[in-house]
Structure 1
Amino acid sequence: AATGAAAVPASTRGPDAGPDAGPDAGPAAGAEPNGGLVPAAPSVRRLARELGVDLQRVTGTGALGRISAADVRAFADAATAAPTPGPAAAAPATATGAPAGVQAGAAPLPDFGRWGAVVRTPMSGIRKATVRSMTTAWATVPMVTHFDKADITELELIRKRYQPKVEAAGGKLTPTAILLKVVAGALRRFPDFNASIDLASQEIVHKQYVNVGVAVDTDAGLLVPVIKGADRKNLIELSVELGELAVKARDRKLTPDEMQGGNFSISNLGGIGGHAFTPIVNPPDVAILGVSRASHEPVWSRETGTFEARLLMPLALTYDHRLIDGAAAARFLRWVCGALEEPFLVALEG
């Protein structure tokens, strides 16, 4: 996805192991915006933040009023389905003086109707969640994007050669599936890219599992299903699972669990076009990989002393500069490029 990753948008992929590892510099875990403590698990609190739900307003159905993820989603669905006030009805003011639902500090819009007809369309629940998560990410994470290109000339020949074998197993050997395998290996070798920042405890949370989200473009918006344990699966298994999740995403049949628990995202726009873009990190992740369309370019060959047409894939790694330095990002992306350029490297090193 052009802005990141991160299902609902990439930011709603769900809980990580242990306490919340989000980058928020706000209240301690368990505290809600208006100061009270609510009986809810860390994963439920995180889901509420991502959906913009105030847990103080949610009635828990669990023991002793404990709030579950289902309670949060039901509240969010009800809020989305609530009728919009007519044009003459003034929206209630928030503590900042802005109408409810208006982001604090947002400049008032002009009267677009002065210059012609306009049509207002209510945002879907997915779009609302995207707005919230991307606004938070852009405002709280100091992001830097590192660019590189991978020569996939040989890899493309191998991919086409083994495509029938993967299809026989019910999958499709796509560049995204291959990238998924390569990235899983890179996350094992560069653990800081498989981590989160816990500002509340001033700790770095290194996950001992590799879950990778893959952005899927759907009619409903960007969804990011998560491949769990990607480092433990072979390329055929990854291809089959990725294809199944992509179909479920487009049919809007993904379960909450299939959109939660990601540590890193891949957003491939190569099938649409473009030669570069800067994806946005989806907190609490600390990095995301953007992929653009591969194209043939002239590359100087030392062996032949001539320019040769090579198939180059543009890659863009956006990272959280609070945890990852530029040199580390360059090494990570160069390793990914090297693995794509020499596919045997992945098999050789696991």
Structure 2
Amino acid sequence: MTEMKFEDQFAPFGSVEPVAMTSFQKVVARRLTKSWTEIPHVTHHDSVDVTQLDAFRRSMPADTKVSPLIFLVRALAILLREFPAFNASLSDDGKTLFAKSYVNIGVAVDGPLGLLVPVLHNADTKDVGTLNAELAALSAQARDKGLPMSAMSGGCMTISSLGGIGGTGFSPIINQPEVAILGVTQTRMTPVWDGTAFQPRLMMPLSLSYDHRVINGADAARFVRRIGELLAAPAAL
């Protein structure tokens, strides 16, 4: 009996055209599969109030305005010091946790070559203006001709933002050997009860996927709450 080819299952419905995956797509597919099958993922969803952040950005001079994403990078850089379990990597045998002394934040960038993750090194030592300029340069390079591995290595935690597209939440896959990744979707003006009346507040949905072998649910919830507290005082960032 002749074994049926994969494409034969579509024949009754019409013709199909095989399109080979690029080498880069194959590498990404292998890494995502490895991460999803080896790490017990849990995703914590919450929304944080960024009304003050939006007002602060609007008050900035036009030549100094930065993306809201950069304030999120700064917040994570601070929190990786406060929550050291998030700034660690677990050995392949699951027996040793390696705590990192540095703070590097990766930011996923969508481009013609696919999803690339440039890394902002030593993000805890840089101000929002410096981080904004670095990310802009790396993003342009990623979309134009791609990035060398040196620009995508050494990340401690990654941000994946769909804020410019939409959505209310998703479950991002952890970028090994990191132990957490933060997903961001589109901010929305939402009525929030203040104890007396509903007030219009700009809310940012956050989705934190974490390795449950390293991070527990309570710390994940506290981590996201602290993001909200930091973003509520943008001048301090």
Bucket of the pairwise TM-score, normalised by the shorter protein? over 0.9
**Which has a greater percent of strand?**
2
- Offset, 1:136: 0.7
- What is the one-letter code of the residue matched to 2:218? A
Structure 2 residue aligned with 1:186, among 79, 85, 91? 79
Paired position in structure 1 for 2:12 = 114
The whole-number CA distance in structure 2 between the counterparts of 1:114 and 1:133 is: 34
- Offset, 1:206: 0.6
TM-score norm. by structure 1 comes to: 0.64
Query: Contact 1:163 / 1:173 at 8 angstroms: preserved in 2?
Result: no
Paired position in structure 2 for 1:143 = 41
Structure 2 residue aligned with 1:162, among 52, 60, 70? 60
- Offset, 1:320: 0.1
Structure 2 residue aligned with 1:124, among 22, 43, 46? 22
Percent identical pairs in the alignment equals: 44
Paired position in structure 2 for 1:61 = none
201 and 286 in structure 1: CA distance in 2 versus 1, 3 angstrom threshold: closer
The whole-number CA distance in structure 2 between the counterparts of 1:322 and 1:265 is: 18
- Offset, 1:109: 6.7
Structure 1 residue aligned with 2:198, among 307, 312, 317? 307
- Offset, 1:110: 5.5
SS at match of 1:273: coil
1:251 aligns with 2:144: yes
Once the two structures are superposed, residues 84-111 of structure 1 have per-residue CA deviations (whole angstroms, 9 ceiling, x without a partner) of xxxxxxxxxxxxxxxxxxxxxxxx6762
- What is the one-letter code of the residue matched to 2:117? V
SS at match of 1:111: helix
- Offset, 1:260: 0.9
- Offset, 1:258: 0.4
- What is the one-letter code of the residue matched to 1:198? S
The whole-number CA distance in structure 2 between the counterparts of 1:183 and 1:235 is: 12
- What is the one-letter code of the residue matched to 2:122? G
1:241 aligns with 2:134: yes
- What is the one-letter code of the residue matched to 1:321? H
Paired position in structure 2 for 1:134 = 32
Paired position in structure 2 for 1:7 = none
163 and 265 in structure 1: CA distance in 2 versus 1, 3 angstrom threshold: farther
SS at match of 1:148: strand
Aligned length: 233
Structure 2 residue aligned with 1:322, among 210, 213, 234? 213
- Offset, 1:316: 0.6
The whole-number CA distance in structure 1 between the counterparts of 2:179 and 2:168 is: 23
Once the two structures are superposed, residues 125-171 of structure 1 have per-residue CA deviations (whole angstroms, 9 ceiling, x without a partner) of 221111101111111100000111111111101112225242xxxxx
Q: For structure 2, list consecutive stretches of 5 or more residues without a partner in the other structure.
A: 1-5
Paired position in structure 1 for 2:3 = none
SS at match of 1:297: strand
SS at match of 1:144: strand
Query: Contact 1:194 / 1:263 at 8 angstroms: preserved in 2?
Result: yes
Paired position in structure 2 for 1:42 = none
Alignment of 1:20-59 (within 5 A): none
Query: Contact 1:173 / 1:239 at 8 angstroms: preserved in 2?
Result: yes
Paired position in structure 1 for 2:224 = 333
1:231 aligns with 2:124: yes
Q: For structure 1, list consecutive stretches of 5 or more residues without a partner in the other structure.
A: 1-107, 167-171
The whole-number CA distance in structure 2 between the counterparts of 1:314 and 1:266 is: 13
The whole-number CA distance in structure 1 between the counterparts of 2:211 and 2:7 is: 32
The whole-number CA distance in structure 1 between the counterparts of 2:99 and 2:20 is: 39
SS at match of 1:336: helix
SS at match of 2:60: helix
The whole-number CA distance in structure 2 between the counterparts of 1:158 and 1:128 is: 42
The whole-number CA distance in structure 1 between the counterparts of 2:73 and 2:57 is: 14
Instruction: Output the aligned Cα RMSD.
Output: 1.7
Query: Contact 2:163 / 2:184 at 8 angstroms: preserved in 1?
Result: yes
